[in-house]
Structure 1
């Protein structure tokens, strides 16, 4: 059986990035693990430093359960270099090349309105973007 993958993104403002990534991926806030009613209750079971709290993170999930969980955790140090791992947001890939490219550019424009920015456009293939904290990701066509 293959291992399940969760993604964790260090950040300066988990709330800001949670809003962006929920918009980008269609994700929702993940509820705390059962049997806990809140993230605070869940975190209390660990021997964490006194200044650690649920306020320093956000946990997102695919409402259909297909995609990986995304954890956004606040850290004190800033981002200093290009991501070694990035997300590819895949828009549906049906239709001809012009139709696929229209969907890629429309998705990129939607994500700019949500707070992202375009870094580079590879005409007809994909668009390299960044989230509000400068984390790179791509928008490209996916399978039909």
Structure 2
């Protein structure tokens, strides 16, 4: 049986990144585990230091249960280098290469409006972007089928 994976992003501002990635992925806030009704209630069981806050982390999930869970955790150190692992966001749809590129560009523009930035464009193929804290990801088309 294959292992399931969760993805974790370290950050300075968990709320900022959670808002961006919910927009980018169509994810939602993951409900707290049973029997807890809120994240605050769940976190209270861990006897965390007083300076820890529920705003120091976010847990996101695919509302359809298909994609991996995304944990976003505040850490004290800043991002210092290029990510060794990054996400590729695949824009769905069929059509010609020009139509797929137009969808990639439109999705990139939508993510810029949400707080991301374009780092590089590889014309007709993919766009390298960064989230609001500089974590790199790519926007590309799904498999070419038309």
TM-score tier after normalising by the smaller chain length: over 0.9
Q: Distance in 2 between matches of 1:8 and 1:134?
A: 15
State the match for 2:104 in structure 1: 104
Using structure 1 for the length normalisation, give the TM-score. 0.95
Give CA deviations for 1:8-37 in whole Å, capped at 9, x if unaligned. Answer: 100000111111111100011111011111
Alignment of 1:123-142 (within 5 A): 123-142=123-142
TM-score by length of 2: 0.94
Deviation at 1:50, TM superposition (A): 3.2
Farther-moved stretch of structure 1 (1-10 vs 51-60): 51-60
- Structure 1 equivalent of residue 63 of structure 2: 63
Superposition map of 1:6-85 within 5 A: 6-85=6-85
Moved over 4 A (4+): none
Q: Which shows bigger deviation, 37-46 or 105-114?
A: 37-46
Gaps spanning 5+ residues in structure 1: where?
Answer: none
Which whole-Å CA distance do the structure 1 matches of 2:112 and 2:39 have between them? 31
